A = this chain, B = another copy of it.
Amino acid sequence: MTPVDLKRPGGPAIHAVDPWLPGNPAKGRRHQLLSENERAQLAKISSIVRFKKGDRIYSEGDAADAAFNIISGVVAAYRNLPDDGEHIASLLHPGDIFGLSEEGRYTNACRAVTPVVAYKIPVTAMRRLLANSTDLDVDVIIKLCEELRRAQRHAFLLTQKRSVPKLAMFLDLHEHLQTTQGESASEIYLPMDRSDIAAYLGLTLSAVSRAFRTLISQKVISCRDRRHVKILDRKAFEKIADSQDG
């Protein structure tokens, strides 16, 4: 499930696609951005924290005293809605950073979708490191560019009006995520449950369920169980995912 270097951590790791270096070789490949030295420096000021599945990591509006860097597991950054639903702003994976803030307060709440291990990095120490500025700051900039693009892709996904293409795009996204992390491409693993998918796609639970059913009955995908999806008809799948007919 997780690459080797994340299992035996040598300090925080930031994975991202370089925004400036032209494509090949290793097109679309995510690199570990930090040098051994930088990772060691960060390791000195950070601690390792663990969360059980479902644990709240912090709430919206809490004092933002630390940023986090995921070693293993999946985290959801979300906001609560007035009608007690929730909107998931992003799903974060190993190599991602979260805990950004506005005026010293977290803008989202965060919870562990799976068991999570992460580095916790105090912001004050982090700012000091950034000011003494090795190449660390450029790496952080690169990572932020990537997160920005992700947020924009998410917004794009949300403009899709029909539920089936939305779900297809979501599955596509997760397949890419898994292949770029070097895992089996034959099956997509979904670590979150249906209600999380609904909150991320801006749909109701029912709509997500029906969208799965539609794709299954059209023999475009099959589900071994609720968390394992296989793509049966790649061509139909991509047609549904990148155009908007479902």
Residues of A with Cβ closer than 8 Å to B?
17-23, 27-28, 64, 77, 79, 81-83, 87, 89-90, 100-105, 107-108, 123, 127, 130-131, 133, 135, 137-138, 140-141, 144-149, 151-152, 154-156, 158-159, 161, 202, 242-244
Contacts and interface: CB of A to CB of B under 8 A. Distances in A.
Nearest to A145: B100
Given A20-B104, A155-B89, A158-B202, A244 B82 contact: yes
Given A131-B138, A148-B151, 16 more contacts: A20-B103, A20-B123, A21-B103, A22-B103, A27-B103, A82-B242, A83-B243, A87-B155, A100-B149, A102-B149, A107-B149, A107-B152, A130-B138, A133-B138, A137-B141, A151-B152
Contact of A79 (B20, B123, B154, B156): B156
A27 B104 CA distance: 11
A78 B42 CA distance: 37
Contacts of A202: 158-159, 161
A244 B204 CA distance: 15
Contacts of A141: 130, 137, 140-141, 144
Contacts of A152: 77, 89-90, 107-108, 151
A209 to B, nearest CB: 17
Contacts of A105: 22-23
B20 A101 contact: yes
A246 B82 CA distance: 14
